[in-house]
Structure 1
Amino acid sequence: MNDKPLNVSIEQAKLLGNALRIKIISQLIDQPKTAKQVADLLGQSGGNVHYHIKKLHEGGLIELVEKRQYGGVTEKYYLSKSKWFNSVGDTPIDPVLNDDYHSIDSTSLSLRLNLTTEQQEEIKEEFRKFLESWVVKTSVSDDSESEEFSIGVKIVSTKQKKEGEVDEKL
């Protein structure tokens, strides 16, 4: 699995706008698993997880890495292409994070820091680890008592691009 963030299209970003799909991807990061194995780990129904795995596979976010035959049954093992996804352009990966989305509950936190290149990389890595820890904490939870939230961290240079300048990080 590639630790480098995968740039995704708007259609792929829409596939990631679902907490269960993020939980599924988190189970497919380090080792290939079947839909049944993922469903068991997440405490979800096999049919529901199979449906979402099919959509993630069709969308190019996970890949089929192995098929095993057991009698008349074919087990399909999937692996995530990445654990981090970037939207291309100014559109957030999750439309809920757009400024014009009207939510019943929203918190916005922001501050400015002077960072060296090394510090910028360090803070990005710390945020990744923090968010990953919350994916793990919430992977197996009683969905009847929880509400889905979208959480995004945006680190933006205060220097504006010049007209026609291309983003060198893409």
Structure 2
Amino acid sequence: MNNDQSQSIEISVEQAKLLGSAQRVKIIKTLVDTAKTSKQVADELGESPGSIHYHIQKLYEGGLIDLVETRTVGGIVEKYYKSKAKWFNSHGKQLMDPILADDYEAATSTKMSLRMQLSLEQREEMEADFKALLEKWVEISIATKGESTQEYAIGIKVISAEAPK
């Protein structure tokens, strides 16, 4: 298992598809720092244990979370899961989330882009800022239990304007 949870790990496009759900992103977030059972995650997210168990099984089968401990308490087997990383990265031409494709027709969409000149250190700082911003909003989405919400896909792509050597 990856010990530095702040680092991203490479995943396949198939694994990336498992993260095409806001619910699963919230589950990953709850399992980054502490191993938890499906019931503990469900309680934290204010969701049904059955639904959370289903999503945790998919994430586990997909290799994005690890089963780190099994305890038997009063004849009940408790399985504790932990995320392999906080961030996941997938290479290739296929988008990690098909909703982010330019031709996806959505009820609402905002597209922002610009170019800037940055040093390597500045680019790394900006990427860290983007990660912190996204983490902040995942936390906010976890805290908005029971409110009327809509799922959104957010993608940030920082790419060099230079061709590869």
Which TM-score band applies after superposition, normalised by the shorter structure? over 0.9
Give TM-score scaled by structure 1 length. Answer: 0.91
Shift of 1:15: 0.5
Output the aligned Cα RMSD: 1.2
* Aligned mate of 2:130, from 119, 127, 132: 127
- Say if 1:43 and 1:140, in contact at 8 Å, map to a contact too: no
CA distance in 1, matches of 2:125, 2:114: 17
Q: Percent identity?
A: 51
Deviation >4 Å, runs of 4+: none
- Say if 1:91 and 1:98, in contact at 8 Å, map to a contact too: no
CA distance in 2, matches of 1:67, 1:46: 18
CA distance in 1, matches of 2:153, 2:134: 11
Q: Does 1:76 align with 2:55?
A: no
CA distance in 2, matches of 1:28, 1:115: 34
CA distance in 2, matches of 1:60, 1:44: 23
Q: Which moved more, 1:98-107 or 1:49-58?
A: 98-107
* Aligned mate of 1:92, from 90, 95, 105: 95
CA distance in 2, matches of 1:143, 1:160: 47
Shift of 1:25: 0.4
Give TM-score scaled by structure 2 length. Answer: 0.94
* Residue in 2 that maps onto 1:4: 7
1:53-99 deviation per Cα after TM superposition (whole angstroms, max 9, x unaligned): 00000000000000011121011000000111111113221111111
Q: Which moved more, 1:127-136 or 1:83-92?
A: 83-92
CA distance in 1, matches of 2:62, 2:131: 23
Which runs of no fewer than 5 residues in structure 2 stay unpaired?
Answer: none
* Residue in 1 that maps onto 2:51: 48
